[in-house]
Each structure stands twice: as C-alpha cells, then as structure tokens.
C-alpha cells in the first residue's frame, strides 16, 4: 500500500504502529481545507496558522482515541473548532483584564481582477468586507453553524456532528444566523445611503 492509495484510517493505523511519515501524509491531505475552516473563525491568518498547528499537535496526542469508523475530517474539524473557541475565550479574558482592544484584521483579502473596472473591484471588496464583518459579529454558536453549512459546505447532519449538537439545533442556529446577518447588512446599507444623502 502506498501513501497515495491509503485511506485515512489506514494511515492512522500506520501512525499508531510508529510510522511517523504516515502522519505527515495525513497533515498534507487535510491542512488546506482545515486552514480555510479555521480562518473563518479567527481574525488573522497568523492566528489561523497557529491554531492549525495546535490542531495537528492535539490530533497527534489523541490519535489513540480516534474512531476509525468515523470520518477523520469530522474529528479534525471538532478539534480545530475547540481550539478556535479556546482562543476566543482567552482573547475575551485578555480584553477584560487588560482593556486590550486588538487591531481589527482585514475582513477580506484584497479583491483583484485585472479585467474588472476599478469601481467594480472596490464595490465587490466592500461587499465582501461587510459580509465578513457581519459574520464576525454573530454570536459564536450561530457563526459556527453558518460557517460550517454555508461556507464549508457541510450538511446539517455533518455540522451537528462537528458541533456536538442535534440537527434541529443546527437548523435553528443557521436560520437565526441568516436572519441576524440579513438585518446587519440592511442596517449597513441604510447607514451607507444616509452618508451619501
């Protein structure tokens, strides 16, 4: 069996037998999507990279507890989500104790399309920034459910598994998140129009 044809469960079994390169293969398979998942939960790419490393470190330490009959990506997603929550709690405590207000990270990467008009690029970038700002303002549980389903493309069942909640709870959180996000976008549209008028 070669690394390219091995399943995640095969690689986990190999790691547990002492094959460290098998873990490197697992990280290579999952780091791209996992980084994108984490990036939606934290304000900066540096934080996302740190949490990605913490996630893989925790996965390495807990690999004996992984159930190979379940998808590895769901298990990794759950570890990463817990790391994101831990980071958010630490930041909240730091702000309360020290009165620290972190610099707001770019809400969106720059939008570049050489074929588009400069105004179109500016409008698209502003819309993306407002959307990301609205998502960031959602309460944690609502944001997590929305990110998992709408942005990461998970089914509500998969999101429920990652969140440790029922499908009905995820459905309600996604509904509330969309409602709050729509209200936020409406308010910012009205504010922008008021400035112009």
What is the mean pLDDT of each successive set of 10 residues along the chain, which is 197 residues long? 77 93 94 91 87 93 91 92 85 59 38 42 62 83 86 83 90 90 78 49
In the chain the domains, ranked by start, together with CATH numbers, are 1-102 (1.10.1740.10), 115-197 (1.10.10.10)
Q: Between helices 167-196 and 156-163, what is the axis angle to 10°?
A: 100
Mean pLDDT score across all residues of the chain: 79
Contacts of 95 (CB under 8 A, 6+ apart): 101, 102
The pLDDT tens digits for 158-197 are 888 888 889 999 999 988 988 888 888 788 766 654 444 4
> First vs last Cα of the chain: how many Å apart?
68
* Percent of the chain clearing pLDDT 90 (strictly above): 34
């Amino acid at each position: 069996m070669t690394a390219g044809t091995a399943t995640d469960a095969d690689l986990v079994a190999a790691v547990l037998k002492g094959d460290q390169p098998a873990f490197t293969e697992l990280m290579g398979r999952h780091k791209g999507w996992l980084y994108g998942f984490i990036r939606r939960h934290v304000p900066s790419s540096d934080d996302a990279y740190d949490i990605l490393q913490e996630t893989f470190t925790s996965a390495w330490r807990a690999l004996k507890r992984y159930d190979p009959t379940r998808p590895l990506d769901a298990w990794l997603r759950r570890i990463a989500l817990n790391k994101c929550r831990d980071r958010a709690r630490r930041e909240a405590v730091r702000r309360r104790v020290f009165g620290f207000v972190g610099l707001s990270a770019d809400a969106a990467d720059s939008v570049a399309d050489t074929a588009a008009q400069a105004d179109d690029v500016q409008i698209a970038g502003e819309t993306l920034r407002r959307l990301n700002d609205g998502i960031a303002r959602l309460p944690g549980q609502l944001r997590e459910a929305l990110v998992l389903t709408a942005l990461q493309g998970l089914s509500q069942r998969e999101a429920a598994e990652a969140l440790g909640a029922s499908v009905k709870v995820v459905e309600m959180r996604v509904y509330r998140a969309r409602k709050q996000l729509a209200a936020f976008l409406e308010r910012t549209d009205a504010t922008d129009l008021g400035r112009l008028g």
